[in-house]
Amino acid sequence: MAGRPGKSGNTAAADQGFEGDTMTISTGNPIEGSMADPSRRAGMDDPVTAEAYMLPSGQPVQLVDPDGLHVHNDKYPLPDGEALLKAYRELVVGRRVNDQANALVRQGRLAVYPSSHGQEACQVASALCIGADDWLFPTYRDTVAVIAKGVDPVQTLTLLQGDWHSGYDPYEHKVSIQATPLATQLLHAVGVAHAAKLKGEDTVVVALCGDGATSEGDFHEALNFAAVFHLPVVFFVQNNQYAISVPLNKQTVAPSLAHKAIGYGMPGERVDGNDTAALLAVLGKAVDRARQGGGPALVEAHTYRMQSHTNADDATRYRTDDEVAEWAPKDPLVRLRAYLKELNVLTEELEEEIAGRAETVAAQMRDGLNAETEVDPEDLFRFVFTEKTSQLREQAAMLRDELSRESA
């Protein structure tokens, strides 16, 4: 991607990224996810062609650099101080949630934890870019995003605590059950958006997945469906460079994951995944566009999985400490903190208050997960069908009898 504009804003047609829903090609027709006239090529004086409109920026969008300095971008204004402060609060809580969950694994209170340490900016932005009535479709790695959207932390961790497959009501905060089978949830997100559209609701759906998951067939089917039905879905890929041990260059040889969007007829954009401000700006724009009827978009965040895939994984088998160390200075918390301090928005008192808030959440997690919970064996048979089959009634009775004899 040499020769593309860097930090100082983007001018080339190919760097338009996605704008609001008013973007037009030279025929004056709004681009509506349908294929534009393929004979129209991006010429120097031409208005933007469909292709150019759909291609991602030459470089990942960055609004605050690792040193905490603002980088100007014509297309993406910096979110205001209040929005950034709100996000910073969630970042600090998110980091604390990751640390606490790791500790709970070591103490045997959680079976396993796929940490999003280093990816907290993506986690927080994916929850904050939508409203209470919008849906989030998370994966196993998105615990922090789920909590940031309002779900109780202890309920969120039920899955990993091993009491049940999920501990929260998806309708309460419009957060679907965390998906483990990769990319499958993206199609469910498309379905929720389609139903909302048919019902005349202006819901937007943010669907999360990792870089590895983009290789699954379901990823491609989901993008195509969303584009063909012109649905308000923002596909948000956290490219953390690894699918367990497999690095991105074994996953794809495309110029970027965001480039995959154009093949389905939707805009793609890439963004610095450790830059909360850029994430809020880019996702915010995609969400607004989707809400206004502009159709789906694909956003790729460039970030890094700072820890092992889960505690059960040993990342030293496939990557070097040096590589990990390179990402440490790009930490999402450090840079937003520096920027907010510089702005004088983040005061000492506020920092203390935020740290206190994070501690409260951590304490809540410890209390909730250290408490001995009772599992009810009758639950095994309760939710398989609306009405228990006679076979299930028989099996439940058998287990009840067994247990009563055991306790006798």
User: Taking CB under 8 A as the criterion, which residues in 278-337 touch another protein?
Assistant: 312-313, 317-318
Q: Is 242 a catalytic residue?
A: no
CB closer to ligand TPP out of 309 and 337: 309
The set of residues, in sequence order, having a beta carbon less than 8 Å from that of 201 and lying 6+ positions away, is: 133
Q: Which of 113, 242, 304, 339 binds ligand TPP (CB under 6 A)?
A: 242
Residue with tokens 């899955």: 159
Q: Does 4 bind another protein (CB under 8 A)?
A: no
Nearest to 300 by CA among 268, 254, 334, 252: 268
- Catalytic: 309? yes
Mark residues 222-251: x for contact with another protein by CB under 8 A, - for none: ---------------------xxxx---xx
Q: Tokens for 145?
A: 């995003």
Helix boundaries (H) for 269-372: 276-291, 321-327, 332-342, 348-370
Task: Identify whether 53 is a catalytic site residue.
Answer: no
Q: How far is CA 167 from CA 83, 105, 153, 154, 177, in A?
A: 29, 18, 10, 8, 9
Q: What separation in angstroms does the CA of 34 have from each of 236, 239, 297?
A: 21, 27, 13
- Binding of residue 240 to Mg ion (CB under 5 A): yes
Handedness of CA 97, 102, 103, 104 (dihedral sign): positive
State the number of binding residues for Mg ion (CB under 5 A): 5
State which residue, 246 or 345, has the beta carbon closest to another protein.
246
Of residues 111 and 371, the one with the C-beta less far from another protein: 111
Rounded distance, CA 202 to CA 361, Å? 32
User: Is residue 211 involved in binding ligand TPP (CB under 6 A)?
Assistant: yes
Whole-number Å distance between alpha carbons of 24 and 98: 44
Quick check: 283 and 234 in contact, CB under 8 A? Answer: yes
Does residue 108 touch another protein according to CB under 8 A?
no
Task: Determine which residue in the list 17, 56, 212, 332 makes contact with another protein, applying CB under 8 A.
Answer: 212
Annotated active-site positions, please?
305, 309, 318
Judged by the rule CB under 6 A, the positions of this chain that interact with ligand TPP are: 141, 180-182, 209-213, 240, 242-244, 305, 309
Judged by the rule CB under 8 A, the positions of this chain that interact with another protein are: 111-112, 159-165, 180-182, 212-213, 215-218, 243-246, 250-252, 312-313, 317-318, 373, 375, 377, 379-381, 384, 389, 391-392, 395, 399, 402, 406
